[in-house]
Amino acid sequence: MREKEFVQKESSEMRKSTELFDFSAFLNKANQLPHGEPITYGATPLDRVTTLNQQLSLAVDLQELTYRDIPDDVPMEIIDYVHTTFATRFHSRAEANEENYMTALNSESVFSLEVLEMFRRGELGQATPSELLLTRELRGIRSVELACLTHPYGKRITDTPYEKNMLTEMREVVQEHVELLGGVYYDEPETRYRVKEIVGYEKGEEKLDKAVLMTRKRTIGEMPDGTIIRERSSFVLRLDDGSPFTKEDIEFLNSIDISEDGWQDALVKAGKLDEVAKVLLLNDEFSLAIPISTTIYAYNSETAEAIEARDARLLAERKAAFAKEHPILAAAMNNVTDNARLHRVAEFRGDIFYVGPTTPSNEKVKLEQTAEEINASLDS
């Protein structure tokens, strides 16, 4: 379905759907179900700016978990990496959640006060998973987080005399909210393991022998409108001398060319990292496969395509308006983009240059040269 048709359909049916939907009854049922709090497994707020102080305080509290009760045999370099990558992923998740919310297809203007109050709860990180699912559908958001649990070194995901397994609880709670809105869970979730980063891999010392950051993504359910429910867990898989990998295994991993496209999947396949990680995680070997966090989120591909189409249209309109108002400058910029073949300035987007990765050195063109070309065109 084309973006314009999608938006028109959604907008015209939005008020009708909320009128037909017994919203008060839904809220009553949703609030009777359990849900997480920020310090446990509550979803990241949709409004990052308003909740900044709250999130910074929460990040400090959760990051303390990365330095407590660490297994004795974990190398300090990996301990430091777990500590740092938690902070990076925590704030990146907040940015991504807000970006998804801010690029929603549908305006708030067509909704009742009761529905708007639900949106506010999502913005403040106080909404239940079912409220977030409904917010995603009504506003036209590509992806929304439903719950997230931080659990470094397996803290809070094993039953002990002192704490309960919050991961099991989070999964059960989210499932209740999904089913409240007619969603279903799969009997056999599709699972994929992927390498995200190499720990301690630096220029001049290209050696893979410490650890890798990995994710395990499980497609666990689906909503009536086709929205997919996924669970993504991140963990560090050790490759050092204390790991299950032999010297020969590590040498084979180092034979993979990580400059090639698809190197992440090639590493997983070459080292059977998915099989090793699965066994270690199932057996709670959390000093070897070190858990960091687990997030459950909802994603709708049709909405994502509609947002992409809308953004492409708006970009084209901005570029056309700029070209009409500044024809000489626009022509000069487009000429630079077309002819420089540099990827350092890869695309003119109407009002800014997109600055991207560079090409090999023999194709690079300095930005100073680019500026000179533009000035020369303006003077002619």
Instruction: Give the tens place of pLDDT for each residue, 26-45.
Output: 988 998 999 999 999 999 99
* Whether residue 212 sits in one domain with residue 97: yes
Q: Is the pLDDT of residue 162 over 50?
A: yes
pTM score, whole prediction: 0.82
CB-side neighbour CA atoms (13 Å) of 131: 31
* Whether residue 214 sits in one domain with residue 136: yes
What would the mean pLDDT of 313-322 be, rounded to a whole number?
A: 90
* Whether residue 339 sits in one domain with residue 273: no
Tokens standing for 111?
């909704």
Cβ(114)–Cβ(131) below 8 Å: no
Q: What confidence category does residue 368 fall into, taking pLDDT thresholds of 50, 70 and 90?
A: very low
Whether 46 is covered by a domain: the verdict is: yes
CA pair distance 289, 210, nearest whole angstrom: 12
- pLDDT given at position 175: 97
Please identify, among 244, 273, 304, the residue that sits at the C-terminal boundary of a domain.
304
- pLDDT given at position 345: 44
* Whether residue 347 sits in one domain with residue 256: no
Whether 314 is covered by a domain: the verdict is: no
Q: What confidence category does residue 327 fall into, taking pLDDT thresholds of 50, 70 and 90?
A: confident
* Whether residue 344 sits in one domain with residue 259: no
Q: What confidence category does residue 19 fall into, taking pLDDT thresholds of 50, 70 and 90?
A: low
- pLDDT given at position 337: 63
Q: What confidence category does residue 7 fall into, taking pLDDT thresholds of 50, 70 and 90?
A: very low
CB-side neighbour CA atoms (13 Å) of 119: 21
- pLDDT given at position 379: 47
Whether 316 is covered by a domain: the verdict is: no
Q: Average the pLDDT over each of 18-22, 143-147, 202-206, 356-360 and give the range with the smallest value.
A: 356-360
* Whether residue 341 sits in one domain with residue 254: no
Mean pLDDT of the chain: 84
Q: Average the pLDDT over each of 100-114, 229-243, 313-327, 354-368 and give the range with the smallest value.
A: 354-368
pLDDT digit string, tens, across residues 223-279: 999 999 999 999 999 999 999 999 999 999 999 988 889 999 999 999 999 999 999
* Whether residue 257 sits in one domain with residue 178: yes
Higher pLDDT, 5 or 87: 87
* Whether residue 345 sits in one domain with residue 288: no
User: Domain range spanning residue 355?
Assistant: 326-379
CA pair distance 214, 229, nearest whole angstrom: 20
- 126 Cα distance to chain centroid: 20
* Whether residue 209 sits in one domain with residue 68: yes
Cα→Cα distances 83→65, 89, 358, Å: 9, 10, 31
Q: Is the pLDDT of residue 342 over 90?
A: no
**In sequence order, what are the beta bridge partners of 354?**
347
Structural domain count, the chain: 2
Whether 168 is covered by a domain: the verdict is: yes
Q: Is the pLDDT of residue 361 over 50?
A: no
Whether 317 is covered by a domain: the verdict is: no
Whether 320 is covered by a domain: the verdict is: no
